[in-house]
Structure 1
Amino acid sequence: MPDIRKVKRRIKGVQNIAKITRAMEMIAASKMRKAQERGLAGRPYSEKIQQVIADLAALPDIGLQHPLLQRRPVEKVAVVHVTPDRGLCGGLNANLNRRLAGFILEKKSAVSVVAVGRKGRDFSHRNGLEVSAEFIQIGDHPGFLETLPISRIIIDDYSKGEIDMVYISYAQFVSTIVQRPAMKQLLPVEPAVIPRAENVDYLYEPGAITVLGGLLPRFVEMQIYHAILESIASEQSARMVAMRNATDSANELIGDLTLLYNKARQEAITRDLLDITGGVAALE
């Protein structure tokens, strides 16, 4: 028979854990709504600027006139790896790091990591990956200016020829339940495939090269900023779901332990009654 006092203490402990996970679920739900609004609000601009850049890059010989569009033999690849700073968000961190590890194994060239977030940084150091830069404690509500140093490193290294291709790895927000690890090529920009029937010449003022030169740095900055916003929305969604599952599991365990406690208590009462009855019978 289990010890009644130990079972009662365990019930109390699990109840305290359930209170904590419930509070964390509510906090994550509150942060998730704001993060989702910011992430979804930036999608149209991010997609549109990507389309404009791809159309400009498809113009004849324009890729040879800007350093961020130049293509060269790939000897070194950089990956901007965006992960949360904290855990307790289900399998999100493990899925992101696993996606990065699979990508590195597929590449035959050298790969360096720009770690954005403590979990990605720790994973990179733990596995001996080359970390060219690291950014942690960005917060739950980063501003556009706070992410500019990340994009500046990428732009400078690519322009100098120190890296030949840039990818960005982040958690793409699909829904509250689904967060998909994404790996997208950032540089060089892939030119758009324009069908012959839609091949129309546009006039750019003051010129296509000038417009492209102003938009390309902003494109890199916006893509990195939007990836960070999507990752924050994914993190809060995954944490809310994980804490909800933890609360449900704790409540289920409390029910099982309460049943075990009642059985043990009933057995103890029955045993005491039998002892009293046996003692009375012996006196008679």
Structure 2
Amino acid sequence: MPNLHDIERRINSVSSTKQITRTMEMVAAAKIRKSTERMEGALPWARAVSDMLISTAPHAPIDSEPLLRVHDDVKRVLVVAVTSDRGLAGGFNSTVLRAAESLIREKEAAGAKVEVAACGKKAIGYFSYRGVKPVFEFAGMSADPSYEESVELSKYIAPEYAAAEDALDEVYVVFNHAKNAAEQTLVMQQVLPISRESYAEILGLVKAEEDVFLQFREPTGEFPAGDIDYEPDATSVMHWLMMRYLHNSVNFALLDSAAGEQGARRNAMKSATDNANEMISTLTRVYNRVRQGAITTEITEIVGGAAALEE
């Protein structure tokens, strides 16, 4: 049984820790609103560019844009893992890193060479420790990402995917989507080649819907195929759309992850604060029980000593 001094020291230690976790919870709660507003502000543009590209890409001339091509053999893959720079966010980072590592193993088992782009110190440290040197690194900006980061990464992706030899064949982005202030969901988005899945479907905002305009775009026995006009020309339009799509895919993932990070940290710190309160209550009960036992022992000794003197 620990003595009173040890128990009191543990209570003070847990109380100090609780003050820290409570403060971090309040800071994260204050940052959630700003980061969520940035993510929600970027979502309409991300959806618009993605939907526009999905609807026009199948009808663009095949040679109008190299980034539109689907490579027959998958020999080289890029996985972009988006994590935070700081910890104390529960399983926020480990979820992304486990999913990215699982994807890497899957592609390597299929015979592809996999490269990693690490966004956030946790991803950089995780892959570096395992002997994987990221081809691209971002650190120190996970809580407040900038558009320049996404432009820089997409400028690396575009020429590598369009290269004549040893080109990238697939590009994936793995990140946590801030479903709400209290919940984050893992997203594994295929950026290249372009997926037919819209942002609304990827993020779970809406269920996949039937394309009611398909009959007007595709030739059938009853209707001729629809046509799309490009101004000034298909090459310029599709290149502009593809670059905006790449910038957007990375930028939205960074913004969405930043919002999810604050929510995950607030949840983790709230749980830590609640656990600290419960531990303090338990230790206080133990302290009172030990103190009462010590008092009872002292009273018994006094009464016994007095009785012995009377005899």
Query: What TM-score, normalized by structure 1, do the two folds share?
Result: 0.94
* Corresponding residue SS for 2:281: helix
> Could you tell me whether the CA contact under 8 Å between 2:77 and 2:115 is conserved in 1?
yes
Corresponding letter in the other structure for 1:180: T
Residues 127 and 63 of structure 1: is their aligned pair in 2 closer, same or farther, counting only changes over 3 Å?
farther
- Mean alpha-carbon deviation: is it higher for 242-251 or for 119-128? 119-128
* Corresponding residue SS for 1:131: coil
Corresponding letter in the other structure for 1:158: Y
> Could you tell me whether the CA contact under 8 Å between 1:58 and 1:191 is conserved in 2?
no
Once the two structures are TM-superposed, the CA of residue 59 in structure 1 deviates from its matched residue by 0.4
Q: Does 1:188 align with 2:214?
A: no
- Mean alpha-carbon deviation: is it higher for 239-248 or for 213-222? 213-222
Once the two structures are TM-superposed, the CA of residue 211 in structure 1 deviates from its matched residue by 1.2
State the match for 2:28 in structure 1: 28
Aligned runs of 1:17-56 on 2, under 5 Å?
17-56=17-56
Once the two structures are TM-superposed, the CA of residue 191 in structure 1 deviates from its matched residue by 5.6
Gaps of 5+ in 2: 198-209, 218-225
State the match for 2:200 in structure 1: none
Query: What TM-score, normalized by structure 2, do the two folds share?
Result: 0.86
> Could you tell me whether the CA contact under 8 Å between 2:79 and 2:104 is conserved in 1?
no
- Mean alpha-carbon deviation: is it higher for 10-19 or for 198-207? 198-207
Residues 63 and 242 of structure 1: is their aligned pair in 2 closer, same or farther, counting only changes over 3 Å?
farther
Runs of 4+ in 1 over 6 A off after TM superposition: none
For residues 184 and 196 of structure 2, the distance between their equivalents in structure 1, rounded to whole angstroms, comes to: 28
* Corresponding residue SS for 1:180: strand
Aligned runs of 1:151-162 on 2, under 5 Å?
151-160=154-163, 161=165, 162=167
Corresponding letter in the other structure for 2:244: R
For residues 264 and 142 of structure 2, the distance between their equivalents in structure 1, rounded to whole angstroms, comes to: 17
> Could you tell me whether the CA contact under 8 Å between 2:76 and 2:114 is conserved in 1?
yes
Once the two structures are TM-superposed, the CA of residue 130 in structure 1 deviates from its matched residue by 4.6
> Could you tell me whether the CA contact under 8 Å between 1:86 and 1:119 is conserved in 2?
yes
1:114 is aligned, of 109, 113, 117, to 117
> Could you tell me whether the CA contact under 8 Å between 1:82 and 1:115 is conserved in 2?
yes
State the match for 2:202 in structure 1: none
State the match for 2:254 in structure 1: 228
For residues 183 and 63 of structure 1, the distance between their equivalents in structure 2, rounded to whole angstroms, comes to: 27
For residues 191 and 239 of structure 1, the distance between their equivalents in structure 2, rounded to whole angstroms, comes to: 33
2:215 is aligned, of 197, 219, 222, to 197
1:116-138 deviation per Cα after TM superposition (whole angstroms, max 9, x unaligned): 11111111122233521211112
Aligned runs of 1:72-87 on 2, under 5 Å?
72=71, 73-87=73-87
Identity over aligned residues, as a percent?
A: 36
* Corresponding residue SS for 2:66: coil
Aligned runs of 1:196-275 on 2, under 5 Å?
196-199=214-217, 200-275=226-301
2:171 is aligned, of 166, 169, 176, to 166
| Aligned residue-pair number | 283
> Could you tell me whether the CA contact under 8 Å between 1:56 and 1:208 is conserved in 2?
no
* Corresponding residue SS for 1:81: strand
Once the two structures are TM-superposed, the CA of residue 204 in structure 1 deviates from its matched residue by 2.8
> Could you tell me whether the CA contact under 8 Å between 1:169 and 1:181 is conserved in 2?
yes
Residues 64 and 262 of structure 1: is their aligned pair in 2 closer, same or farther, counting only changes over 3 Å?
same
1:164-223 deviation per Cα after TM superposition (whole angstroms, max 9, x unaligned): 111111111112222112111111223689654232423332233321111211110111
State the match for 1:63 in structure 2: 62
Root-mean-square deviation over aligned CA pairs: 1.7
State the match for 2:130 in structure 1: 127
Once the two structures are TM-superposed, the CA of residue 139 in structure 1 deviates from its matched residue by 4.4
Corresponding letter in the other structure for 1:184: Q
